[in-house]
Amino acid sequence: DTAVSQTPKYLVTQMGNDKSIKCEQNLGHDTMYWYKQDSKKFLKIMFSYNNKELIINETVPNRFSPKSPDKAHLNLHINSLELGDSAVYFCASSPGTVNTEAFFGQGTRLTVV
């Protein structure tokens, strides 16, 4: 029973296209995140949401738009995809309180050609 699940696991698309990655967590957590892992394996936060409200937005191009329809879901929509967007995108969740860790999904490998 997967705790944090992302779809799709792999996504190959052409430059200029628009694509979405979906994330769902069944842990009852209040906080969800998107992290990006680049080709050198460096992980950096993009966004965080708490109870559907955007909390962190870390210098991400506005082509990236997260949406949280409810606290169990956080989707990432990317417009006008560029070659540099190729990366692994991780969704994560946490209870949103102090002294708690984040639980990660299995990642979505996005390849822009």
CB closer to another protein out of 62 and 97: 97
d(CA 103, CA 57): 19
Per CB under 8 A, residues contacting another protein are 30-31, 33, 35, 40-45, 48-50, 53, 55-56, 58, 88, 90, 92, 94, 96-104, 106-107, 109
Which distant-in-sequence residues (6+ apart) come within 8 Å of 109 by Cβ?
Answer: 9, 10, 11, 87, 88
Residue closer to another protein by CB (options 90, 112) is 90
Query: Nearest distance from residue 105's CB to another protein, in Å?
Result: 8
**Shortest CB 108 distance to another protein, Å:** 10
Rounded alpha-carbon distances, angstroms, from residue 74 to 17, 24, 39, 91: 21, 7, 24, 8
Instruction: Give the residue with the Cβ less far from another protein, 36 or 81.
Output: 36
Find the shortest distance in angstroms from Cβ 52 to another protein: 10
